[in-house]
Homo-oligomer: A and B are copies of this chain.
Amino acid sequence: MEIADWRLKIDELDLQIVALLSERAVAAKAIGQLKRSTSMPVYEPNRERVIFERVRAANKGPLPDIELVHIYERIIDVMRALQRDELASGNNTTTGS
């Protein structure tokens, strides 16, 4: 395969990755709403640790675990920001931090 062929392949994969990230964001947003109604914190280090462990366990390469986790750190950051927005949009009361 030539570079152009591999790029077509990457373009197809990116459409699928974007769709899955959107689905993941829908779920994160829904959790944000449930957290709002139960006054749970957005940041839950134990849950995030579980996610990173699952990602490492699912990794079959060729990315090193650390690089995959590096991508996931960004994904989690973005999803956490989405949940914060969700909480902020629900009411004007803030909890200070």
Chain B residues lying within 8 Å of A29, measured Cβ to Cβ, are: 62
Q: Per a CB cutoff under 8 Å, which of B7, B15, B20, B62 touches A17?
A: B20
Copies in the complex: 2
Q: Is the CB of A62 within 8 A of B10?
A: no
A42 within 8 A of B: no
Residues of B within 8 Å of A17, CB to CB, are: 17, 20-21, 24, 75
**Prevailing SS type, chain A contact patch:** helix
Interface residues on A, range: 35 or more
Task: Report the minimal beta-carbon distance from A29 to chain B, rounded to whole angstroms.
Answer: 6
On A, residues with C-beta under 8 Å from B are 1-3, 6-7, 9-11, 13-31, 34-35, 40, 47, 51, 54-55, 58-64, 67-68, 70-71, 73-75, 77-78, 81-82, 97
